[in-house]
Structure 1
Amino acid sequence: MKLERVEIVHVAIPLVTPFRTSFGTMTTKDTFLLHLVTDVAEGWSEFAADPEPLYCSEFVAGAEIVLRDFLIPRMAALPHLTTAVLADALAGIKGHELAKAALETALLDAELRSYGMPLATYLGAVRDRVPAGVSVGIKDSIPELLDDVERYLAEGYVRIKLKIEPGWDVGPVRAVRDRFGDALPLQVDANTAYTLADAEQLRRLDEFGLLLIEEPLEENNLHAHALLQQRLRTPVCLDESLHHARDTAAAIALDACRVVNVKPARVGGYLEARRVHDVARAHGVPVWCGGMLETGVGRAPNLALAALPGCTLPGDTSASARYFAEDITEPFVLVDGHLPVPDGPGIGIAPLPDALRRFTRERRDLYAA
């Protein structure tokens, strides 16, 4: 393949309800899509981070610069463009995994479309649908939280994840357990909000039979998470701390995590995400696919990853309606607690022109041959 054009499409889509975590509240999905055109096919991807570097160091405006000035020129210089050689071409640029993931995914989409191959087949998926969990943000009151959990369970979600922070942890978890019972698959996500000094407070969560506690301490501190795991019965799951398969192997060896949340954007794309999955599976560690409030463009490839054999826990691959009254693609709809894995070529989905037009703030070319 030869690269002909890369276009950036800045979109902003209102959320159906504000989504609050320990690092802030989102009311709009404000990001960009990449539209990549080659001489044989075109592909789409979604940048997963936000306008501000609060959840991670990458952010929308910075990623555009990195793509335009550093990543895309290296891609364009390749004499024969394939996804297999792209990682080596980009390796000289340190970090910026989310920007690299957006570029790799758009190219992978185009390449697989040219072959007529679904991403799920390429990755090695073993299921045509995956169980869907839902992430419930921090609320103003416990009654409001219980109402939300009841609604999501009525919609069919098979697992509930509660966002927690100091002051909003044991009480909400106890209330959900008391209301919905011990059989409910339940987990919590701290988004790095605690320190080792909070170990005794976190240990109070052991009594609730949680599937896991996700990224309780500062990211990239595997030693601290290993010390915390020694004090907890609840399995520690790492998310923000895992940037590639090497991190995953180290975390497992240190017993810093007993569950792995793999987010393709965070590790640089779906090829590295599959390696993360393979490392965890080889060590008998459960994997699940996390989410970053993606539109359908980002949700579709996540479903393909979630269908891999080592993904044995429900992921954050919620239905489109969980976040958006209207998506920019055909919506993903929950059926019997599951979402279908796209079976069309590439990521299996593309933006709907009218919806994309309504939610687009700006379009411009980052590269044109």
Structure 2
Amino acid sequence: MTGQRIDWSRVADFLATPVSLHSLELLVLEVPQHETFVSAIGKRQARQALIVKWTDKNGVSGYGECGCRPDPYYSHEYLTAAIEVISHFIYPAIKKARTYGEVLAAMQPIRGWQFTRASVEFAMNDAIRRATGKGIIEHCGLQPANRVPVGISLGMFDTASALEEKLTAIEGLGYKRLKFKIAPTYTDEAVINALTSLKHPYVAFDANGSFGEDTFARLAPFAATGSIVEQPFAPGYLHLVESFARQYTPLALCLDEEITHGGHLQQYHALMAELNLKPGRVGGLYASLQRIDM
């Protein structure tokens, strides 16, 4: 998709696509993980997933996943609250909508709740794709890439030997990028030295907004590598980027939790070396297309 432009006339046509809603089901799944995953947010051995099932009046069903966690530690959205928002606000607003665009417009007055609103759009779009063979992405005029480089996100490690064991296990699997979770609680010098001396061509670090002014010194070794550091500071604390650069070194900054609206992207674009764009976090597929084209 590099260098391509979105054909907004085709997107506008797609927004007029007729839709119908016979039922909206909310399913909560317990998804076990292969291994424990540790980040600045906490330790996770399994994952709860909220799945929205959209069934149209012809009996065609589509599915969309709500990307929020069961707790409010990544964003203000969390699973049981998302169920409430869909049940009490989104479903009543969209049940009589006649087009794709009308569904999006009906959800627009709800402030925030991007993951929640996105899950409904995902399910609606999936139902359309299953019925017609094409959804909004297929209508936007972009040609999908034949091959996409794949990376892996790795949690935090207790020891340097555990890190080395994991790196040995994934060696040869062809990952083009290694992203490691970090946090101020990383104080084991052996682990920090191992992480900051990796020879892989594309290493990144993800802090999930866990560092602050009082932990600049613990962030500094990771920043000094020149590798991407994703969301080093909590949303709303981007002024710390400049403070950190004055005291240590400029950050190769990637933003994640910080970017939920188009205005954020325009405001912070100059600060970023890279953007983590999650369709759920920005409010859905249509919103993602808008962000891509900014």
- Equivalent AA in structure 1 for residue 240 of structure 2: A
The residue correspondences of 1:26-41 to structure 2 (distance < 5 A) are 26-40=44-58, 41=60
Tell me the distance in 1 between the aligned counterparts of 2:150 and 2:176.
6
SS of residue in 1 equivalent to 2:35? strand
Distance 1:207 1:128, change over 3 A: same
Report whether the alignment pairs 1:265 with 2:275.
Answer: no
The residue correspondences of 1:255-334 to structure 2 (distance < 5 A) are 255=271, 257-279=272-294
Match of 2:105 in 1: 88
Give yes or no for contact 1:238–1:261 (8 Å, CA) kept in 2. Answer: yes
Match of 1:304 in 2: none
Tell me the distance in 2 between the aligned counterparts of 1:233 and 1:202.
12
The residue correspondences of 1:51-130 to structure 2 (distance < 5 A) are 51-78=70-97, 80-82=98-100, 84-117=101-134, 120-123=137-140, 124-130=142-148
Note the alpha carbon deviations across 1:171-230, whole angstroms, 9 max, x for none: 53531454x52x4310100011101333344333344241x1000011133333354456
Give yes or no for contact 1:32–1:47 (8 Å, CA) kept in 2. Answer: yes
Tell me the distance in 1 between the aligned counterparts of 2:36 and 2:134.
37
Give yes or no for contact 2:153–2:181 (8 Å, CA) kept in 1. Answer: yes
SS of residue in 1 equivalent to 2:276? strand
Tell me the distance in 2 between the aligned counterparts of 1:138 and 1:24.
10
Report whether the alignment pairs 1:19 with 2:37.
Answer: yes
Structure 1 spans left out of the alignment, 5+ residues: 280-369
Distance 1:226 1:234, change over 3 A: closer
Structure 2 spans left out of the alignment, 5+ residues: 1-18
Relative contact order: is structure 1 or structure 2 higher (C-alpha 8 Å, sep ≥ 6)? 1
Note the alpha carbon deviations across 1:275-307, whole angstroms, 9 max, x for none: 22222xxxxxxxxxxxxxxxxxxxxxxxxxxxx
Tell me the distance in 2 between the aligned counterparts of 1:226 and 1:266.
25
Report whether the alignment pairs 1:138 with 2:156.
Answer: yes
Give yes or no for contact 1:12–1:28 (8 Å, CA) kept in 2. Answer: yes
Note the alpha carbon deviations across 1:120-158, whole angstroms, 9 max, x for none: 533524302311111110121111012112222332211
Report whether the alignment pairs 1:165 with 2:180.
Answer: no
Give yes or no for contact 1:75–1:81 (8 Å, CA) kept in 2. Answer: no
Give yes or no for contact 2:241–2:251 (8 Å, CA) kept in 1. Answer: no
Q: Which runs of 4+ in 1 moved over 6 A?
A: none
| Structure 1 residue 271: Cα displacement | 1.4
Match of 1:217 in 2: 233
Query: Bigger radius of gyration, 1 or 2?
Result: 2
Note the alpha carbon deviations across 1:6-41, whole angstroms, 9 max, x for none: 111111011000111011111111122111011243
Tell me the distance in 2 between the aligned counterparts of 1:238 and 1:171.
28
- Equivalent AA in structure 2 for residue 7 of structure 1: E
Tell me the distance in 1 between the aligned counterparts of 2:251 and 2:96.
49
Tell me the distance in 2 between the aligned counterparts of 1:209 and 1:94.
37
| Structure 1 residue 93: Cα displacement | 1.4
Identity of aligned residues (%): 24
Give yes or no for contact 2:36–2:45 (8 Å, CA) kept in 1. Answer: yes
Match of 2:67 in 1: 48
**What TM-score do the two structures reach when normalised by structure 1?**
0.68
Match of 2:4 in 1: none
| Structure 1 residue 105: Cα displacement | 0.7
Match of 1:346 in 2: none
**What TM-score do the two structures reach when normalised by structure 2?**
0.85
The residue correspondences of 1:220-239 to structure 2 (distance < 5 A) are 220-228=236-244, 232-239=249-256
Match of 2:208 among 161, 167, 191: 191
